[in-house]
Chains A and B, each alone.
Chain A
Amino acid sequence: MPQFLLELFSEEIPARMQKRAAEDLKKLLMDGLTKAGFLPGGLETFSAPRRLVAVIEGLPERTADVREERKGPKVDAPAQAIEGFLRGAGLTDIAQARVVSDPKKGDFYVADLVKPGRATPEALAEIVPDIIRNFPWPKSMRWGEGTLRWVRPLHRIVAVFDGEIVPFEVDGIAAGNISEGHRFHGTGLFEVKDFEDYEAKLSAAHVILDRDQRKAQIKADAQTLCHARNLELIEDEGLFEEVCGLVDEPHVIMGDMDPAFLDLPPEVIRLTLRVNQKYFVVRDPKTGGLAPHFIVVSNVKATDSGKKIALGNARVLAARLNDARYFWDLDRKASLESRVPKLDTLVFHEKLGSVGDKVRRIVALAGEIAPLVGADVAAAKHAALLAKADLTTEMVGEFPELQGVMGRYYQLHAPVLPRATGEGDPAQQGGGGMPPSVGFADSSPASQGSTGLVANTIIADSIRDHYKPVGPSDQVPSEPVAMAVALADKLDTLTGFFAMGEKPTGSGDPYALRRAALGVIRIVREAGLRFGLAALLNHARRGYGNVLNSDAAIAPHGYSVAAVEVCDFILERLRVSLRDEGFAPDVLEAAFAIPDDDIVRIVSRVTALAKVLKTEDGANLVAGLKRGANILRAEEKKDGAAADGKVTEALLREPAEQGLYQALLEAESQLEQALADEAFDATMGALAALRGPVDRFFEGVLVNDGDAGIRKNRLALLVKLRAVSERVADFSKLAGG
């Protein structure tokens, strides 16, 4: 069956957009073809720096004819009706219609219409221009005098169906069968017949069409180069993705770096290489550290095997690393502590004040949290004070993604300051007497003044780790001081944004509040931290004082509205993550119905509930509880009032109801203890023990007794059952049973 080849040839498409564009093209073609009645056998799309390509296999030469019967008027209908029928059906004479007899309706006309299928190219000539005009580029542009929008100027369109050009035109660009190869290694324009021909000619013209093939080649060649020199490539999937969109044909080259640069923090070197230059970093397996080399992927195969390219890139890199070194040296002249006042000039958020304000709030909040997580209060406050100070450094200005990481280095490399002598500007002092890069733990005077016993490394690590976790795969801080600062920072951010009404919506979360909430949850869960969220959030809210006087609302239980909203938001995120971990929605619903703001306790409750429900007793108990609840609901409706839970022991006649009553008293006292101990398996056990008595009760006792007093007493027994079970979970929310 015939094949359709489409190439959209443009100026260089941004690397980050290529993959998505190929996916979009595939989807749009598939939608367009399906709508036009095609069932393509195969559809593949490709992207390279200057082109988007699609090949569609198994298209028919034309779409199938569509047959239709159209019913007309009765044979004795007025002439006007018959004329109308002829016009509508496109017939010239009534003899072209058949006469059909129907026992009820009599004889009437029927026209057999055939809508002939269309030649496939005709359909393609409609589908493709439409896709081009409406392509969902993240950003598009006009050029020259045209009105068409494309990501960069679109130059040519190849549209070949079964060897023939599909005739169409988009904004003056006529579809054809001419393409071209590599910008520098290509040999001009060429004609293409079909995909095989196209791919072969492209390959000869130094373009590898398949992005995965380019990527694989980059990986393999980079590894080979490294192996040859006993080095290790540090793989970077994101960079592979980007670089394979920057080259039509990759030529991997290794360049050298002055080893003197290796005394810069490795994060700085890696980012300089990666972000600024798109180079890969290389490790020396002997030292485990970075090696003074880099891997660059060139788009050209140079006639000197890349010597000039390697040298040129090395020079650029040296200039970049010199800049980084300049920042590194400059930044270390001022201690983090001396930078704190500058934070007052950095805006955290227009409505929430400066970063300096934020720091003052998280210092106070970290002080509140410290005892809850087992951290030294003074240390937590000191770490919080310094946590954001690196935002004023040149290095973080250049590489914002190094926030925290640089703070840690600068704290470890804190300059030796003349304390309390008041001589000279601290910024001018540091360079001289400071050891360059070793042995800072415990010895830095910058921290000793305020925290005494806590090692400076802990302060330094906390500065780095308080941003964690930055994503689902990132580690959470586990050292108490770092946890205190991390929690303080996240809770402060959540509270501030909620208080001014900047809550995440279904489509947008520009301040990454979901991530902050998940961070809180993970830190608390992984360390098993025990505290009520609401009270802490209320502290956080109070920290904003009058900054946010628009939201001073206080909820009934004395917490500010924002604190309650954030608490609900965090618990909702907890519920979502538990669902992702495999807990059934109804189990979560039942467990979350118990008011609680202690994350660890909620998780224990959910776990214990899910566990007991898997046992036979548990499952049957649920059925019994539900039955009891249903009866209660029905009877309460009948009475128009809620039944009270006062059981009169003397009125319990049947052994089954006496048995249930005794079992309930027993369960209640066991629950009391188990709940106090937060031994949720035991609470579930106590409930599960009710299964027998409950079953027997429903087998042997009729609640709706003729005697009103007895009926009332039995309803009271059911109320008690519900009340006892509701101390553990809301069983009515459970499915099944």
Chain B
Amino acid sequence: MRPRLLQAGPLALYAHKVMTQSIAPQTAPRETPCSRALAAGKVPSFQDIILTLSDYWARQGCVILQPYDTEVGAGTLHPATTLRALGPKLWRAAYVQPSRRPKDGRYGENPNRLGHYYQYQVILKPNPPNLQELYLNSLYEIGIDPSLHDIRFVEDDWENPTVGAWGLGWEIWCDGMEVSQFTYFQQVGGLDCKPVSGELTYGLERLAMYVQGVENVYDLDFNGLGVTYGDVFLENERQQSAFNFEESDPAMLKRWFEDAERMCTYLRDKGLALPAFDWALKCSHLFNLLDARGVVSPTERQSFIARVRDQAKGCAVLWAETQAPSQAEVV
């Protein structure tokens, strides 16, 4: 059964036809920041990789978004992915998302772990049949040569219980290094995704470390002109770690959590799924801060996670209703 299309006017029908076919990959007929760097015998910089991915996915018909302005733990939580994966409307988007994981902060002392890092996120709904090929082309464009490297699709099922979401897919290995996750969304907010979205998440720092042959994330060449990742973020990691682990005020965070939860409930009652979702994200982040502070007992932990999940799922269900009344009836 085909999902019902809203506003099935001539334009929407045309878009539908185009978007559900295989995309003939639009590979670099022109220069990209990465190809320029490679042609000059240099490794692509951190931002060359970001700009090239955006350029590439723009060519595949994606809307290039900017990061969401609320703290999130992963690019998937951007409403452009979590919410847009629901309902029948077609959607293609790509964006960088700063991801905050307070617990992973290491005061800038660990070469591989960060409390704040970037993901490059791509979502295509429905997934085009040749999504694997499109993905591989994106790797080629940032300078990974498949005749020299071992690229593998290794089983990895994805699940995010806090938004009632799961999917099947792989982690992509390049010479044993996980450089991306590739997921076919099956459910979000406990609702079936129809059609199914294909989601790609590139761990930008890891990918860049790989491409640049760098062992320490802070040594990454950020802009090709001498600025390193450490110049930009090392002090941030130190100070944020101090905040996350030592200086945050657990009582205040708990209070805020409860307020955010109340606000989310209120907004859901008013039928405002999008602002409600923002407050669910705030709940999630406040919980992460409490968790990092080490003040959450195992039992409390379960209950916090359940509370965040209830809010986030509630938002997803509400959003789905606005997208396709027929789907909400199923719930």
Measured CB to CB, the residues of A under 8 A from B are 11-12, 14-16, 49, 139-145, 147, 151-153, 155, 184, 246, 277, 279, 296, 298-300, 302-304, 308-309, 311-313, 315-319, 322-323, 326, 345-347
Contacts and interface: CB of A to CB of B under 8 A. Distances in A.
Contacts of B40: none
A142 B196 contact: yes
Interface of B: 1-3, 20, 110-112, 126-129, 132, 146-155, 157, 167-170, 174-177, 184, 186, 194-196, 198, 210, 213, 215, 297-298
B147 A316 contact: no
Nearest to A246: B152
B168 A312 contact: no
A558 B189 CA distance: 53
Contact of B168 (A15, A141, A155): A141
Contact of B146 (A143, A246, A300): A300
Contacts of A311: 175
A12 B152 CA distance: 9
B298 A345 contact: yes
Contacts of B167: 141
- Give 10 closest A-B pairs by Cβ, nearest first: A312-B175, A14-B155, A12-B153, A313-B176, A298-B150, A145-B195, A316-B176, A141-B168, A144-B126, A316-B177
Given A144-B127, A144-B195, A315 B149 contact: no
Given A143-B184, A300-B146, A347-B298, 10 more contacts: A12-B154, A16-B155, A143-B198, A144-B20, A144-B129, A145-B196, A152-B168, A300-B151, A319-B111, A345-B298
Given A302-B150, A303-B148, A317 B176 contact: yes
A247 to B, nearest CB: 8
A326 B113 CA distance: 12
B3 A145 contact: yes
Contacts of B153: 11-12, 49
B206 to A, nearest CB: 10
A181 B112 CA distance: 37
Which has the most chain A C-beta neighbours within 10 Å: B2, B169, B176, B186? B176
A313 B175 contact: yes
Given A142-B196, A300-B147, A155 B176 contact: no
Contacts of B155: 12, 14-16
Nearest to A313: B176
A388 to B, nearest CB: 15
B2 A312 contact: no
Contact of A145 (B20, B175, B213, B215): B20
Which has the most chain A C-beta neighbours within 10 Å: B128, B168, B170, B196? B168
Given A144-B195, A147-B1, A296-B176, A309 B126 contact: no
Given A141-B186, A142-B196, A309 B2 contact: no
B215 A308 contact: no
Contacts of A317: 176
24 contacts: A140-B168, A141-B168, A142-B194, A143-B127, A144-B20, A144-B127, A144-B128, A145-B20, A145-B194, A152-B169, A153-B184, A246-B154, A299-B151, A300-B149, A302-B147, A308-B148, A308-B149, A312-B176, A312-B210, A313-B175, A315-B177, A316-B177, A319-B215, A345-B297
Contact of B112 (A141, A144, A296, A323): A323
B20 A299 contact: no
Contacts of B132: 11
A323 to B, nearest CB: 7
A622 B146 CA distance: 77
A299 B151 CA distance: 8
A354 to B, nearest CB: 9
A527 to B, nearest CB: 37
B150 A300 contact: yes
A144 B21 CA distance: 10
A142 B196 CA distance: 7
B112 A309 contact: no
B129 A155 contact: yes
Contacts of A296: 150, 176
A155 B129 CA distance: 8
